[in-house]
Amino acid sequence: RAGARGAAMEPECRVLSIQSHVVRGYVGNKAATFPLQVLGFEVDTVNSVQFSNHTGYAHWKGQVLNSDELHELYEGLKLNKVNRYDYVLTGYTRDTSFLAMVVDIVQELKQQNSNLVYVCDPVMGDKWNGEGSMYVPKDLLPVYRDKVVPVADIITPNQFEAELLTGRKISTEKDALEVMDMLHAMGPETVVITSSDLQAPLGNDYLIALGSHRKTEADGTRTTQRIRVESPKVDAVFVGTGDLFAAMLLAWTHKHPNNLKVACEKTVSAMQHVLQRTIKSAKAQAGEGNKPNSAQLELRMVQSKKDIENPEIIVKATVL
């Protein structure tokens, strides 16, 4: 009987997540690990930095891992023959040599396991009031464009990052679809533009995300599924949401490999549950009429365990 039960268990799925770590709060690996574990994944974390807290606070202290140290950690895994992964997940990085080392590791892991999926959030910058600006050194762009994106399978840029990677501005949904096609041509099978300043059909209180999944059938024909997701805007600045989004997208695309619509609905719905809980709690802590501070706006991750595990679908995607 035990044998029969064992056979029904899902095979172990292991993620190597190379991201920042904070002692207090939820960004980087702290925002990605818990949701992935809740959803049944084994997560091995390399902390690209170890900071007291995220850099949106008035103060922060800590250490930064360099590319040699990253390589050394990876060598340790390799010597013990425990360097077989199903997924690699990466987010914010400030250093070009570190990023190049990540690419080397991904390529080596793909030789180990040809089915490995690399999920990359190419964090470079964002738009404020319509103006885009980079918050990482400019020399990271060519590394992302020429080295990282070609080995990635799933990428989650925001609109500004998608524009940077393709050198093309997005003013309409049609532009965005063409930019996603350009990104597919660079390598990734799945592209999700996580946020944009496009006009949402539902109105100004909604934020548009767009997704595109390109599949090559056994006979060589290609099909592309494209979706639009409109989610209610939440009036606050959160940190770690992109890291949480990428982790949950990894999980839900794994569970729904050929249905980007469902994967995105579950991801965005879970995000909404987490953000609504966070803003409610932050406002309660700040008190009537006061603006919540960074500490109060830390994502309510543990409190949202049930929503992460089994999100009630409150945001629907439209197939384009």
Around 255, how many Cα atoms within 13 Å sit in the side-chain half-sphere? Answer: 20
Helix%, strand%, coil% for the chain, nearest 5: 40, 20, 35
CB 94 within 8 A of CB 125: no
The CA distance from 193 to 240, in Å, is: 16
> Residues of 32-53 as b/e, b for ≥16 C-beta within 10 angstroms?
bbbbbebbebebbbbbbbebeb
Interatomic CA distance for residues 298 and 123, integer angstroms: 20
**Cα dist from 271 to 43, 236, 250, 314, 316, whole Å:** 20, 14, 14, 10, 13
Q: Helix 260-286 and helix 241-255: axis angle, to 10°?
A: 150
Contact at 8 Å (CB) between 67 and 40? no
Q: Which residue has the tokens 């501005």?
A: 169
CB atoms within 10 A of CB 248: 27
Q: Confirm whether 243 is a catalytic residue.
A: yes
Tokens of 246: 């990428």
Other Cβ atoms less than 10 A from the Cβ of 80: the count is: 8
What is the C-alpha to C-alpha distance for residues 94 and 124, in angstroms, rounded to an integer?
Answer: 9
Active-site pick, 95, 121, 153, 243: 243
Instruction: Decide: 94 and 137 in contact? Cβ < 8 Å.
Output: yes
Give the DSSP H or E segment for 277: helix 260-286
Residues noted as catalytic = 243
